């Protein structure tokens, strides 16, 4: 008999069926990963398995018992769930947060017992959060915060763990750490794990079983070898994928871009020697928030007319560098030249005509439609008299079409999914029609095909319109493929910079992320492909 099972499960939000006809059997002691495009119902399925959502029909059985007939604390002692985008309580320390994981084990009004303290201690160690135990959760970086939540789940000490995108906001090194943690929990402690992942390669590397979902239904189910095939992936995401086999470890999947873009090194090299415009020249820059210095004495050149990617671990100062050169954040000292003129000497409006910046996370006002949001990008070139020129109208239509938003144009932004919202923000930045575009993790919340769509637009903006692109990317293989120039940062300093073939090499990966890796060549583009080694 299976450990966790779903029978004829259907889940709906209001009138929309998200998951239907779901039959699922999870064996004890296995790692199962659910994959699929944005909005396919993966997270919804996970939520209904953990009793966060009530199904419209069907049952969920845990050890043969209907979870809806069990008490809340009995369910919580048996399964723990890591949700996406949990809210961060104010002013509580990591240790206090982790201790909350013991709640289902505590008796009414009892303080933490010795056993509880041991569990908290062990959870902190497993998640590598011991050194941050007294820090406030709301002051941690995105990656650290994610690990704090994972630690809380570990303290719950449940035999079954449900993880909804546990690697969001984590860099390569921490992704690997979390994946290793999952393997360790499974192999050494025999815990059963069910998770949702966006990254198919990670999923394949740790899972015993993959379940591929599309439109609320399972379309493939089996071992990673059975599921990670060109046929399954292209029907799952509607995009062509290449699967690379290499000696040590599972196969690697890479989505193919709409543009085939073989590039020879000499071609790119010559661009670097004679860039179309001087780009950014940053010298002796000091960045940070208040007393907290992130970069001290940073000197870097970002060539004009090319696509540059900034890579590096969480909290290495990549986003801060981007925000500082985009003048969203004040610098401590130093000089930033854009096309030979000092950025701080330009008026706000003039700067907004020169560069657009797509940031991470923003407010969404009520009732604002997608079209309203995208139109806001016209602001820097509008005057009192020129409020809606033909150019504005043309740009907005073009951006809506490019970003596949035409059908969503009258939808309130608050109703969109994470991936759709990200596309709307990106459309707003390209409507600004500036010669330089700064993008801070533009592919967050996007599934692989949407990531490729967006980066293909970025590529076109550079190759067809000659725009300078500077972007922070977490995915190294996408960075290698789309960028002409890569800057690798660690602890606020530039560790390596140059062509992808010069930066994506094992030595740099070890220095920047502290991981061992092997590098293949992507046959379609001639660019490097990094595969972390598992030890």
Partner 1 sequence: MANLFSAIGMDETRTFRGSWFSHRINLRVMALIILCIAILILLMLYAITLGAVPLTIRQVWDATWGEGDSRTLLVVRTLRWPRIGAAVVIGAALALSGMLFQGIARNPLVSPDIIGIDAGATVVAVSWIILTRDTSGLPLVTFLGAIVTAMVIYLLSWRKGASPNRMILVGIGISSMAGAVTSFMLVKYPLEQIRPAVVWTMGSIYGSTWRDVVIPGAVILVTLPFAILLMQPLRAMSLGDNVTKSLGIPLESTRLAVIIIGCALASVAVAFAGPIGFIALMVPHMARMIAGPQSGGVLVLTGLLGGIMLLVSDTVALHFLPVSLPVGVVTSAVGAPYFLYLLYRSNSSM
What is the contact surface with partner 1 in residues (CB under 8 A)?
323, 326-328, 347-353, 356-357, 359, 362-368, 372-373, 376-377, 379-380, 382, 384-390, 392-393, 429, 432
CB of 282 to partner 1, least distance (A): 18
User: Roughly what angle, to the nearest 10 degrees, separates helices 448-463 and 418-431?
Assistant: 10
Question: Which residue's CB is nearer to partner 1, number 270 or number 386?
Answer: 386
End-to-end Cα spacing for the chain: 34
Burial of 151 (0-12, 13-18, 19+ CB in 10 A): buried
In the complex with partner 1, the residue whose CB is nearer, 429 or 468, is 429
Nearer to partner 1, 381 or 481 (CB): 381
Contact 213, 34 (CB under 8 A): yes
Least distance in angstroms from the C-beta of 389 to partner 1: 4
Tell the smallest beta-carbon distance from residue 390 to partner 1 (Å).
7
For residue 85, the minimal CB distance to partner 1 (Å) is 15
**Rounded to the nearest whole angstrom, what is the least distance from the CB of residue 459 to partner 1 in the complex?**
22
CB of 483 to partner 1, least distance (A): 22
C-beta of 296: minimal distance to partner 1 in Å? 21
Between 238 and 361, CB nearer to partner 1: 361
What are residue 6's DSSP bridge partners?
A: 24, 60
CA count, 13 A, side-chain hemisphere, 320: 27
Tell me how far, at minimum, the Cβ of 434 lies from partner 1, in Å: 10
- Only one residue has tokens 């940053």, namely 282
User: Is the CB of 106 or the CB of 389 nearer to partner 1?
Assistant: 389
Instruction: Name 413's Cβ contacts closer than 8 Å, sequence gap at least 6.
Output: 364, 368, 369, 370, 373, 421, 424
**Dist CA 43 CA 59 (whole Å):** 17
User: What is the C-alpha separation between 298 and 335, in angstroms, rounded?
Assistant: 10
Nearer residue to partner 1 within complex by CB, 68 or 350: 350
Token representation of residue 419:
């991936």
Question: What is the b/e burial string over 304-329, where b = at least 16 CB atoms within 10 angstroms of the residue's CB?
Answer: bbbbbbbbbbbbbbbbbbbbbbbbeb
Nearer of residues 47 and 174 to partner 1, judged by Cβ: 47
Tell me how far, at minimum, the Cβ of 133 lies from partner 1, in Å.
29
Calpha distance 436→462 (Å, rounded): 9
- CA angle 13-16-20, nearest 5°? 90
Cα(168)–Cα(159) distance, integer angstroms: 23
Nearest residue (CB) to partner 1, 386 versus 533: 386
Strand partners, 162: 81, 194
Query: What is the smallest separation between the CB atom of 468 and partner 1, expressed in angstroms?
Result: 16
In the complex with partner 1, which residue's Cβ is closer, 187 or 382?
A: 382
Do 135 and 127 touch, CB atoms closer than 8 A? no
Considering beta carbons, is residue 225 or 342 the nearer one to partner 1?
A: 342
**d(C-alpha 290, C-alpha 268), whole Å:** 39
| DSSP single-letter state for residue 10 | E
* Paired tokens of 385: 């008299």
Of 67 and 352, nearer to partner 1 (C-beta) is 352
- Cβ 367 to partner 1 shortest distance, Å: 5
Nearer residue to partner 1 within complex by CB, 158 or 324: 324
For the bound state, the minimum distance from the C-beta of residue 386 to partner 1, rounded and expressed in Å, comes to 5
Burial group, residue 509, by CB count within 10 angstroms (0-12, 13-18, 19+): buried
How many whole angstroms separate alpha carbon 400 and alpha carbon 392? 12
Q: How many CB atoms lie within 10 A of CB 55?
A: 23
- How far is it, in rounded angstroms, from Cα 36 to Cα 54? 22
Task: Tell me whether residue 291 or residue 507 sits nearer to partner 1 (CB atom).
Answer: 291
Q: Strands 160-164 and 79-82, how do they pair?
A: parallel
Output the six-digit token pair for 309. 């990617």
> Which tokens sit at 176?
């690997």
CB atoms closer than 10 angstroms to residue 497: 18
Whether residue 422 contacts residue 442, with contact meaning beta carbons closer than 8 Å, is answered with yes
Question: C-beta of 396: minimal distance to partner 1 in Å?
Answer: 11
């Amino acid at each position: 008999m299976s450990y966790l099972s779903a029978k004829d499960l259907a889940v709906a939000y209001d009138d929309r069926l998200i998951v239907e006809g779901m039959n699922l059997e999870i064996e004890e002691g296995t790692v199962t990963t659910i994959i699929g495009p944005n909005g396919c119902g993966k997270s919804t399925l996970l939520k209904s398995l953990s009793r966060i959502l009530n199904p419209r029909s069907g049952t969920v059985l845990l050890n043969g018992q209907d979870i809806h007939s069990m008490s809340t604390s009995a369910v919580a002692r048996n399964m723990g769930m890591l949700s996406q985008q949990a809210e961060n309580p104010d002013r509580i320390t990591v240790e206090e947060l982790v201790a909350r994981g013991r709640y289902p084990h505590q008796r009414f009004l009892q303080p933490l017992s010795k056993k509880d303290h041991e569990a908290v201690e062990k959870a902190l160690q497993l998640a590598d959060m011991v050194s941050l135990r007294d820090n406030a959760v709301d002051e941690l970086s995105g990656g650290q915060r994610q690990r704090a939540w994972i630690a809380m789940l570990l303290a719950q000490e449940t035999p079954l763990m449900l993880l909804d995108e546990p690697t969001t906001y984590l860099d390569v090194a921490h992704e690997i750490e979390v994946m290793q943690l999952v393997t360790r929990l499974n192999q050494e402690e025999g815990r059963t794990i069910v998770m949702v992942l966006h990254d198919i390669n990670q999923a394949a590397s740790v899972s015993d079983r993959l379940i591929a979902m599309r439109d609320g239904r399972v379309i493939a189910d089996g071992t990673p070898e059975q599921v990670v095939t060109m046929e399954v992936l292209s029907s799952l995401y509607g995009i062509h994928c290449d699967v690379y086999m290499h000696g040590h470890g599972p196969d690697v999947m890479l989505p193919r871009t709409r543009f085939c873009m073989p590039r020879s090194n000499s071609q790119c090299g010559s661009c670097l020697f004679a860039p179309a415009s001087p780009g950014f020249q940053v010298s002796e820059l000091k960045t940070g928030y208040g007393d907290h210095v992130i970069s001290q004495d940073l000197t870097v050149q970002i060539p004009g007319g090319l696509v540059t990617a900034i890579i590096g671990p969480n909290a290495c100062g990549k986003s801060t560098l981007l925000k500082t050169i985009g003048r969203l954040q004040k610098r401590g000292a130093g000089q930033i030249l854009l096309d030979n003129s000092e950025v701080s000497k330009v008026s706000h409006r003039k700067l907004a005509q020169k560069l657009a910046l797509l940031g991470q996370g923003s407010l969404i006002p009520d009732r604002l439609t997608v079209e309203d949001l995208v139109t806001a990008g016209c602001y820097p070139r509008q005057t009192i008299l020129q409020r809606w020129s033909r150019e504005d109208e043309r740009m907005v239509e073009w951006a809506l079409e490019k970003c596949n938003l035409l059908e969503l144009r009258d939808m309130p932004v608050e109703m969109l999914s994470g991936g759709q919202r990200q596309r709307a923000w990106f459309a707003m930045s390209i409507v600004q029609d500036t010669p330089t575009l700064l993008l801070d993790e533009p592919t967050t919340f996007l599934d692989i095909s949407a990531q490729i769509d967006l980066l293909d637009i970025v590529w076109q903006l550079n190759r067809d319109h000659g725009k300078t692109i500077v972007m922070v990317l977490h995915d190294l293989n996408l960075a290698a493929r789309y960028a002409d120039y890569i800057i690798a940062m660690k602890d606020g300093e530039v560790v390596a910079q140059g062509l992808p073939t010069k930066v994506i090499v094992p030595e740099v990966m070890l220095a920047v992320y502290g991981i061992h890796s092997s590098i293949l060549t992507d046959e379609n583009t001639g660019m490097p492909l990094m595969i972390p080694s598992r030890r």
